[in-house]
Amino acid sequence: MTARGATSPSGGGGGRAKSTILFFLCGGSSHLDTWDMKPEAALEFRGDFKTIATTAPDIQLCEHLPRLAKQAHHLAIVRSLGHYGRGTGDHHAGYYYNLTGHAPDVTFRTLANDRRPQETDWPFIGCVAGSKRPAHPYLPNTVTLPHKPSRPPYTRPGQFAALLGVEHDPLYVDGSLEKPLEFSVPALELRGDLSPERVATRRSLLKEIDAAQRAFDHTADSVIYSKQQAKAFSLLTSTKAKQAFHVAEEPESLRERYGQTVNGMSLLMARRLVEAGVPFITVFWKENMKFAKQCKSAGGWDTHGNNFHCLRERLLPEFDRGFATLIEDLDARGRLDDTLLVVNSEMGRKPRIGDVRSGGISGGGRDHWTHCMSVLLAGGGIRGGQVYGSSDRVGQFPANRPVAPEHIAHTIYHAMGIADLTTTDLQGRPLQLLPEGRPLVELF
């Protein structure tokens, strides 16, 4: 049975997750050097790193993830995720498939990383989840931080509401590499000459103008615009909304445990947003261009060169510190069981070491690889300490219980208790948002 045609078993145990935090490792993280290591493979596949035991008997992790190893009893690792020829091997298609659960269309093959986001794209999982939950009293249902990948004009498709409508787009929160405690929320910022009182006056005037306009215009666009106006004014005048983003209020000892980097503080911010009741929070790993030349990348997980040095010296320690602390922090607060954590990326890395763009074997890099990758899950009703599926002896292809991104998307919806995945198109006709795949209910 193929991954696309898998049928749903009985049972489930979903619906516990009030919120989801998606931690997306921008660039394409190496499954082979993290949570699907192959210690028995030949050196040209397994590389430099050794495995270590964890708090879960069935899980071994990379030696450079010692903190996560202590939280492994909370983890479920899906090691059999592949794109099965439906992806392109490029970043844009990888983002789109893993963020929406829908295979990239032909335009991703013809345009590659020049393919821009489109209004008719399938929506981001987080936007679907947000649209299915009651409106938050003072915050958007979907928040993304600390950046919008990637730098224009190469904005990654798949991270927007698209055909659901812009009113369901995420609120974007900007973080700084240089000042990781300082986050800016453009939608919450007033110009220097605008006080809350002036905003209220403008809102009153705008209501009068809109009342006159509605006498002439009843289009769908005007309705959406009104919703956007209401959201913007609500955010601008809400003290609670602004307070949710003040991560510097957290104790310094806790900030230090997360690691006072923009990625570590983004995970701490995500925990604050969970406590504020936001249904879906996405943390896109913020890349650091200072390391771009060394890793032959944009400074993130796209380790075309010096894969092992870049992972060992920078990427893995920062990830290990932040994500392990997030698990521990949520658990200590009694929030792990109702918060789903997901770690994903746009692709895995090629099993054989040596990327031609970084000098081949001597460059020590790994190229893109969409044929096999892994996903981490924890909390939200997930049964910890387990591995789902397996890859072959060198991590090249799924070997057992193969799944595709649509299964991960369905699993997130299942954890959040979202069974109705229908909407209507512009003509008012019913539309199924994710007809392929099924939730991996065995994980619960």
Say whether pLDDT at 398 is over 70. Answer: yes
CA distances from 366 to 47, 97, 276, 363, 375 (A): 10, 21, 40, 9, 19
**198 and 224 share one domain:** yes
- Regarding whether 271 and 199 lie in a shared domain, the answer is no
How does residue 8 score in pLDDT terms, banded at 50, 70 and 90? very low
Same domain as 153, residue 217: no
Q: What percent of the chain has pLDDT over 70?
A: 86
Integer Cα distance of 97 and 83 in angstroms = 8
Given 244, 269, 291, the domain boundary residue is: 244
pLDDT at residue 294, rounded to an integer: 87
Asked if 293 and 416 sit in the same domain, the reply is: yes
| Residue type at 376 in one-letter notation | L
- The pLDDT tens digits for 102-153 are 999 999 999 999 999 999 999 999 999 999 999 999 999 999 999 999 988 8
Decide if 391 is inside a domain.
yes
Q: What is the pLDDT of residues 233-274, one digit of tens each?
A: 566 667 888 888 899 999 999 999 999 999 999 999 999 999
For residue 210, pLDDT beyond 80: no
pLDDT at 241: 82
What is the Cα–Cα distance from 436 to 405, expressed in whole angstroms? 10
> Is the pLDDT reported for residue 290 higher than 60?
yes
Whole-number Å distance between alpha carbons of 187 and 418: 28
139 and 109 in a common domain: yes
Q: Which of the listed residues 244, 263, 291 is the one where a domain comes to its end?
A: 244
Is the overall model pTM greater than 0.85, yes or no? yes
Together in a domain, 258 and 237: no
Euclidean distance between CA atoms 415 and 432, whole angstroms: 19
Q: How many CB atoms lie within 10 A of CB 105?
A: 15
Condensed to tens digits (0 to 9), the pLDDT of residues 352-371 reads: 999 988 889 999 999 999 99
**Domain assignment of residue 337, yes or no:** yes
Domain end, chosen from 244, 262, 287, is at 244
Q: Judge whether 10 lies within some domain.
A: no
pLDDT at 425 over 90: no
Nearest to 374 by CA among 14, 143, 87, 61: 61
Q: Is residue 428 part of a domain?
A: yes
Shared domain check, 175 and 198: no
Q: Which of 295, 280, 288 is nearest to 263 (CA)?
A: 288
pLDDT band at 213 (very low <50, low <70, confident <90, very high): low
- How far is C-alpha 280 from the chain's CA centre? 10
What is the model's pLDDT at position 421?
97
Give yes or no for a contact between 401 and 111, defined as CB atoms under 8 angstroms apart: no
Count other C-beta atoms under 10 Å from residue 112's C-beta. Answer: 14
At 199 the pLDDT is: 47
Are 341 and 398 contained in the same domain?
A: yes
Query: Does some domain include residue 1?
Result: no
Q: Is residue 6 part of a domain?
A: no
- Domain contains 11: no
Cα separation, 41 vs 394, in Å, equals 6
Q: How many domains does the chain have?
A: 2
Residue among 220, 157, 129, 38 at smallest CA distance from 423: 129
**Span 304-354, pLDDT tens digits:** 999 999 999 999 999 999 999 999 999 999 999 999 999 999 999 999 999
For 201, the domain range is 186-244
Q: Is the pLDDT of residue 177 over 90?
A: yes
* Domain-embedded: residue 3: no
Q: Are residues 196 and 230 in the same domain?
A: yes
Q: What Cα–Cα distance (Å) separates residue 67 from each residue in 309, 324, 340, 345, 362? A: 19, 6, 19, 21, 31
The mean predicted confidence, pLDDT, of the chain is: 90
Are β-strands 142-145 and 171-172 bridged in parallel, bridged antiparallel, or unpaired? parallel
> Within this chain, do residues 203 and 282 fall inside the same structural domain, yes or no?
no
**Range name among 191-200, 274-283, 334-343 with the lowest pLDDT average:** 191-200
The pLDDT tens digits for 19-44 are 999 999 999 999 999 999 999 999 99
- Work out the average pLDDT over 65-88: 97
**Structural tokens at position 300:** 């993130």
Q: CA 348, CA 358: separation in Å to the nearest integer? A: 18
* Same-domain pairing of 426 and 373: yes
Maximum separation of any 2 CA atoms in the chain, in Å? 73
CA distance 53 to 57: 8
Percent of the chain with pLDDT over 90: 77
Identify whether the C-beta of residue 197 lies closer than 8 Å to the C-beta of residue 203: no
Residue 206 reports pLDDT greater than 50? no
State the pLDDT at residue 314: 96
**What is the CATH number for 177?**
3.40.720.10
73-84 tens-digit pLDDT: 999 999 999 999
Residue 96 has pLDDT above 70, yes or no: yes
On whether both 424 and 329 belong to a single domain, the answer is yes
Q: Which residue has the higher pLDDT, 431 or 189?
A: 431
